[in-house]
Structure 1
Amino acid sequence: MICKDRVVAVTGSGRGLGRAHALKFARQGALVVVNDLGIARDGTGEATASPAEEVVKEIEALGGRAVASPHDIATEDGAEGLIATALEAFGRLDVLVNNAGFLRDRMLINLSEDEWDAVMRVHLKGHFLPLKHAGRHWRAESKAGRPVDARVINTSSGAGLLGSVGQGNYSAAKAGIVGLTLVASAELGRYGVTVNAIAPSARTRMTEDVFGETMARPAQGEFDAMAPENVSPLVVWLGSADSRAVTGRIFETDGGRICVMDAFRHGPVIDKGARWDPADVGAAVRDLLAQTPEPEPVYGAT
């Protein structure tokens, strides 16, 4: 019960990873706002509250408390409505898990502007706006002298950290979430808020075409390394009071693995102390590259 009575809002929690997070938080004592539009995995189709409502029923069957949120968190009103739902239902907000997203995969030269914009909207804007409104609430609480011990867990991806062939829009959005996480961690820390991100791998309807045969379920009794439920324990811990010293970090996680990503850091440097001549730059760059490890390959590269 490491999150007992903490109020948690999880976006995109009607299915997949979000559903697993919502259920795990509930099992750990949290009060949960289940947010989902109920649309198709590519973001099309009519919105329906049924997936979120089904998860609420599952939580209530466990003896927990939850409410459904039908808000489109990639809009200003929707993001504000998500935070308001938590405050109206439970009187507070302690944890925001930004998880909602969908795919529009295409090679770059075939990628349409609409496919680019749609993925940027749901992933990057859909992280920014809930984070903005949650941050405003926590700032107001802090300035009013009320103690804040809040958490934000964003959802990036290995595609955002290393790139993924055929997913230029998704990779760019997920890389943007890493940058947003670092900035939010620095800006919101003064109000008692930590901000971290995960880069998960799991079997969901969004990834079934990406991973192919590796998504197959194992034989009965064997550990299912691709189950979305494997990711949720890290998310729940990051949402707990115990994680208050951890912020601005990116964790890759799948199966039984947790990896702290060693993101961009200053590496070897050559300082000439004067302006470079272009003819001299090549030798300097080759020298620097010889002192650094090769970058890890882009997912799907041959």
Structure 2
Amino acid sequence: MTQPIIYATRNFKDEFLEQIKTIAPDYRFQTELAPEDISNVEITIGWDKKLAPDLLVNHRLKWVQSISAGVDYLPLKEYQKNSILLSNSSGIHATAITEHIIGVLLAYYRDLLTIAQHQENTLWQHRNELTVGQLAEKKMLIVGTGHIGQKTARAASALGVQVYGVNTTGHQVDGFFETYTFKNLNKVAQGMDIIINILPLTAETTAIYDSTFFSGLHPASIFMNVGRGPSVVEDDLAKALESGEMAFAALDVFKTEPLPADSILWQTKNLLITPHMSGELVGFQKKFMKIFLANLKSYVADGKLVENEVSLDKGY
């Protein structure tokens, strides 16, 4: 039988390639494929859309290791149909996204965004004319109590924030003052100062932040999205900010990326736009490979995954 291939959509350091070779000596690691190679691909690191049609008819493909945490862009139904295992990189971005969330909140409450604009215009504005607030003692609702949500909850709690959570069943999670079921999201959000979305994208989480949701918030509330863009109805968010239904929003993910130049969001007041960079982190390869190598060792031994296996039914 022809040697099976581990195909990666990006390069990795030699130290990790050596570990792959040690764990899976019968496999060949490649970052480029000739047409005759595709039928021998058994494992992919990342997903190459251009090769998808050929890979999905290749009955040798057994496992896809996603480089990202979110997997909504992948052909999950096809994986399920062909009994292809899927694992993601959930958890490795937790520190970076937590720091992004806390950084944005501190910048907003300390009015640093306004001050940065004034500095560009050499404007010294007296402190009494600035709108300086306080993060401590605020009530934060984190929608999604997984790795990132839990790390954010711990960091926010350390700054004096009272943190609540929303998850599918409402089960209690360490680090949260109280948790609620997903179906109670709109009701619970009404009493919160800060709402953070960290949910993966599924049929149930698409367009959940709409005019009904935003109209229920109080005028001083803040909304942040570091989950998935299509969870937010962007026109509804823009209208809520313009009308004063809420005070501020920060979006790191969008329905269409890059965000089109004609998007209404670019001109929306009290909105901070960042280019899907909250998860950028130092030492990505080391953290990612910790997951992949553990899975590879298990997969070679018995065909099973031990880290971050995705339920193809649920989509996360």
Higher share in helix: 1
Q: TM-score, normalised by structure 1?
A: 0.33
Structure showing greater radius of gyration is: 2
Q: TM-score, normalised by structure 2?
A: 0.32
